[in-house]
Amino acid sequence: MAHRIPDQESRTTYRKTRKRHRGLRIALLVLILLLVAAAAFGAYEYNKLNPQNHFSNLKSIGGSDSNLKAGVFNMLLIGTDARKGDPAGHTDSMVLIHADLNNHTYDMLSIPRDTRVYMQGYGYTKLTSVQYVSQVKNGAQQGITDAVKTVSNLTGVPINYYAETNYWGLQYMVDAIGGINMTLPFNVTLTHPWYSEDQGLSFTAGTHALSGKMVTEIVHERYSLPGTDYGRQQLQEAALIGIAQKVMQPANITKLPALAGSLSKFFVATNLSQEDMISVGLSAKSDFHPQQQIHYRQVKGTNAVMYDDVLQANNDQVILDPTELKDVIKTYFAN
């Protein structure tokens, strides 16, 4: 039997929060881990943290074996729309990462926030609602766990790690390395910015030198983009490549302390240990070429008005093509 949000006050907060500005939606974890690992490596033995030794016999979230080969893991990056001081937030982006540290490849699948999913104990709803509803009822940690389990059930792959981010972490990160050059694949106009003074700003297709504030505003945008959420995913990739290119410059070695200092601001929550981070860094630091090794995947979906068991009302949802999803997962995320 489907459950409602716990009470009227929570339900009202839920509806209001859904309308707030949407926050961070970009996968930067590989880069941050690389920097932290490179700085800390001297304190650990290589053999112990060799990725093939460290990332083996992993458990998936939920406790079952992941059945992935040594040196490979799946991780979910969660971007939420919670502002500072908010006790809960909606999932604004989900990026599933398949990290193959043996071949130095990172496949990433962005899942639209409005994707129709099944939430255990509640029924069918939007992906963006799962974490919020669970947080309100069961607390922050259970909210993350339920979000991860829902994506695992949707994709059919085990997920070993998670990292939750918010809007502010990206801005801190970009500013810490002195801004980036970001190549936009199409024109972007800010229709729903976080800062009112940026309303209506336009950027032409091409390369732009951007501050942390502008990067966060651009990757936040979706309404002026071709394909809305799918266009926004392309901007995520462009920002990721721009950051990777900047942090790999020799001059940025001196910025490692600032980057490490921003780590706690970037991560709202994660189950990655320091040893996990260092092991990833050992794999990436001598052979990291982001344009060749980071691959964004997309699965197209159709928009439909469907009944939402959480809201007990119809709303707009995205139905992912099940055949395409299965093919993408089998090809890039299952081994």
For residues 54-60, average pLDDT: 88
Confidence of residue 262 (pLDDT cuts 50, 70, 90): low
Q: What pLDDT, on the 0 to 100 scale, is given for residue 19? A: 42
Higher-confidence residue of 124 and 250: namely 124
| 277/263: higher pLDDT | 277
Going by their DSSP bridges, the two strands 294-297 and 105-111 should be labelled as: parallel
Lowest mean pLDDT among 44-48, 60-64, 74-78: 44-48
Structural tokens at position 273: 């240990």
The domains of the chain, with CATH numbers, are 8-176+266-332 (3.30.420.590)
Token pair belonging to 159: 């997920």
Using the predicted structure, report yes or no on whether residue 75 has a pLDDT greater than 70. Answer: yes
**What is the share, in percent, of the chain residues with pLDDT greater than 90?**
36
pLDDT at residue 73 above 80?
A: yes
What are the pLDDT digits (tens) for 202-215?
999 999 999 999 99
> Per-residue pLDDT averaged across 81-97, rounded?
72
What mean pLDDT do residues 66-76 have? 89
Per-residue pLDDT at 45: 55
Amino acid 148: pLDDT: 93
Residue 160, token pair as written in the block: 């070993």
Residue of higher predicted confidence among 181 and 7: 181
The kind and range of the H/E element at 308 are strand 301-308
Residue 260's pLDDT is 53
Across the range 307-323, mean pLDDT stands at 95
280 versus 252: the higher-pLDDT residue is 280
Whether residue 6 is predicted with pLDDT greater than 60 in this model: the reply is no
CA–CA separation, 187 and 203 (whole Å): 6
**Chain Cα centroid distance, residue 39:** 24
Over residues 156-180, mean pLDDT: 84
Q: Decide if 161 contacts 271 (C-beta within 8 A).
A: yes
- pLDDT for the residue 310: 93
Spell out the alpha helix ranges (H) of 19-156.
29-40, 46-49, 51-54, 127-138, 140-155
pLDDT digits (tens, 9 = 90+) for 41-54: 444 455 667 788 88
Q: Any bridge partners for residue 203, and if so which? A: 188
**What is the average per-residue pLDDT within 45-74?**
81
**C-alpha span between 243 and 325 (Å, rounded):** 28
What pLDDT is stored for residue 16 in this prediction? 45
Name the least confident of 5-9, 79-83, 285-289, 292-296: 5-9
pLDDT (mean) for 75-92: 72
Residue 80: pLDDT over 80:
no
Q: pLDDT at position 82, please?
A: 63
The model's confidence at residue 90, banded by pLDDT at 50, 70 and 90, is confident
Question: What's the mean per-residue pLDDT of the chain?
Answer: 79
Give yes or no for residue 96 having a pLDDT over 90: yes
Stated as kind and residue range, the H or E segment containing 161 is: strand 161-165
